[in-house]
């Protein structure tokens, strides 16, 4: 889940934490009782104590959201994630999680997203899934990495997405599998005559595609939520046949994600990541292009400020966990988009953040990051604030 402050959009999130423990009705009495004091102590222990829970139980966090943006009006909703083990008895079982995000606005826009990252018994299978419906506008700036804020074009969007990846362990640390991804887009240009009307932009009305693919994963991380040692290397390839005809996307997609983690000291970790994403095909519609920015890679940029058929980035983080419940990070990186028609232009990304570990059992975090991007001539420096559940990588 993410909160990004970029350009015209301003959101304020009220952060609230809930545990599985039910709050007794008498806890609302005006006169403090022994039960009240026990409840307060329990909450303090739940969210501030350095003691680890030995029960290997699940952990739940919920983030209520309230905000305002010029393009969407008043926004309200909720996001939550549940971390758990499918096999509590196995000390090597990896943390699984389910995350749900749902927000509405007074302009009748909505965003609902359900994702999961599941590790089965004995870590034999790794399953990723996503279900999403999004009726939400976005800003379009053109194609390539040489776009300008002055060309900002306001576009309405409706998106339906359903995807699943299933990978099976074939030898220790190595998984192979298959994936299916369906996406359906509809667009509405709300500012006619802008950069979106250019002939070079294909797929202006939207489209759909079904991608079938394969993947491989090599994973030696000591922890999937807050890694301090090991390597993660994932390669994914898929093909979209001409199932729907017309101008719908037909082509291939390739993704490579390499991460490495080195423990410099018991509380200090150096983490690095290199990512490549590419889309190939004839007359590829813009909705199948790759976006730079967001809360995971190239923080500090509005997601989609730079957009093209290929996207490559590298980033590093220095993570210092000075207390069991709290940590700080500094990060930096570079990346860019490119295609045969538009050359690669690398831009910077750097910033710092705070980490709160809401579950010591699962090493699950909430992160608060502030990031900076480039300053283009005549524009303010690009930057963003991010409130997210889990690490960037």
CATH of the domain at 225: 2.40.160.50
Q: Is residue 222 included in any domain, yes or no?
A: yes
Q: Is residue 48 included in any domain, yes or no?
A: no
Q: Is residue 31 included in any domain, yes or no?
A: no
Give whichever of 53-57, 192-196, 209-213 has the largest mean pLDDT. 209-213
* Domain count of the fold of the chain: 1
Across the chain, what does the average pLDDT equal? 88
Contacts of residue 334, defined as CB under 8 A and 6 or more positions apart, other chains included, come to 313, 314, 315, 346, 347, 348, 349
Angle CA 301–305–306, to nearest 5: 105
Confidence of residue 57 (pLDDT cuts 50, 70, 90): confident
Give the domain range for residue 177: 9-20+58-389
Q: Out of 60-64, 137-141, 357-361, 379-383, pick the least confident.
A: 60-64
Confidence of residue 157 (pLDDT cuts 50, 70, 90): very high
Q: pLDDT tens digit string along 90-112? A: 999 999 999 999 999 888 899 99
Q: Is residue 50 included in any domain, yes or no?
A: no
Mean pLDDT over 21-41 rounds to: 50
Q: Is residue 2 included in any domain, yes or no?
A: no
Residue by residue, DSSP assigns 298-360 as: STTS-TTSEEESEEEEEEEEEEE--SSSEEEEEEEEEEEEE-SSS----EEEEEEEEEEEEET
pLDDT value at residue 41: 66
Q: Is residue 51 included in any domain, yes or no?
A: no
Whether the pLDDT of residue 69 is over 60: the answer is yes
**Whose structure tokens read 């090599």?**
218
Confidence of residue 40 (pLDDT cuts 50, 70, 90): low
CA-to-CA distance for 129 and 182, rounded, in angstroms? 12
Q: Is residue 53 included in any domain, yes or no?
A: no
Q: Is residue 1 included in any domain, yes or no?
A: no
């Amino acid at each position: 889940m993410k909160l990004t402050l970029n350009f015209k959009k301003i959101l304020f999130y009220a952060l609230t934490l809930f545990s599985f423990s039910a709050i007794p009705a008498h806890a609302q009495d005006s006169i403090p009782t022994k039960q009240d004091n026990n409840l307060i102590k329990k909450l303090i222990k739940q969210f501030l104590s350095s003691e680890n829970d030995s029960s290997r139980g699940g952990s739940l966090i919920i983030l209520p959201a309230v905000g305002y943006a010029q393009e969407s009006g008043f926004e309200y909703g909720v996001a939550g994630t549940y971390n758990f083990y499918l096999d509590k008895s196995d000390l090597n079982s990896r943390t699984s999680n389910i995350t749900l995000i749902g927000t509405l606005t007074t302009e009748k826009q909505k965003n609902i997203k359900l994702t999961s990252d599941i590790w089965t018994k004995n870590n034999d299978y790794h399953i990723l899934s996503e279900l999403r419906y999004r009726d939400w506008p976005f800003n379009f700036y053109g194609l390539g990495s040489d776009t300008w804020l002055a060309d900002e074009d306001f576009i309405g969007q409706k998106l339906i997405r359903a995807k699943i990846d299933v990978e099976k362990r074939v030898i220790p640390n190595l998984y192979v599998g298959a994936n299916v991804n369906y996406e359906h887009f509809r667009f509405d240009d709300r500012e006619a005559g802008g950069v979106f009307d250019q002939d070079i932009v294909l797929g202006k009305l939207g489209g759909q595609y079904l991608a079938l693919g394969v993947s491989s994963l090599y994973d030696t991380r000591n922890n999937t939520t807050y890694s301090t040692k090991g390597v993660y290397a994932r390669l994914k390839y898929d093909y979209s046949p001409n199932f729907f005809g017309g101008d719908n996307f037909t082509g291939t997609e390739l993704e490579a994600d390499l991460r490495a983690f080195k423990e410099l000291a018991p509380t200090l970790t150096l983490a690095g990541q290199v990512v490549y994403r590419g889309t190939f095909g004839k007359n590829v519609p813009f909705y199948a292009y790759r976006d730079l920015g967001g809360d995971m890679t190239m923080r500090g940029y509005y997601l989609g400020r730079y957009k093209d058929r290929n996207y490559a980035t590298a980033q590093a983080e220095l993570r210092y966990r000075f207390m069991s419940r709290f940590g700080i990070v500094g990060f930096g990186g570079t990346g860019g988009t490119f295609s045969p028609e538009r050359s690669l232009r690398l831009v910077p990304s750097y910033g710092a953040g705070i980490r709160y570990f809401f579950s010591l059992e699962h090493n699950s975090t909430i992160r608060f990051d502030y990031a900076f991007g480039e300053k283009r001539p005549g524009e303010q420096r690009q930057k963003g604030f991010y409130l997210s559940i889990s690490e960037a990588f």
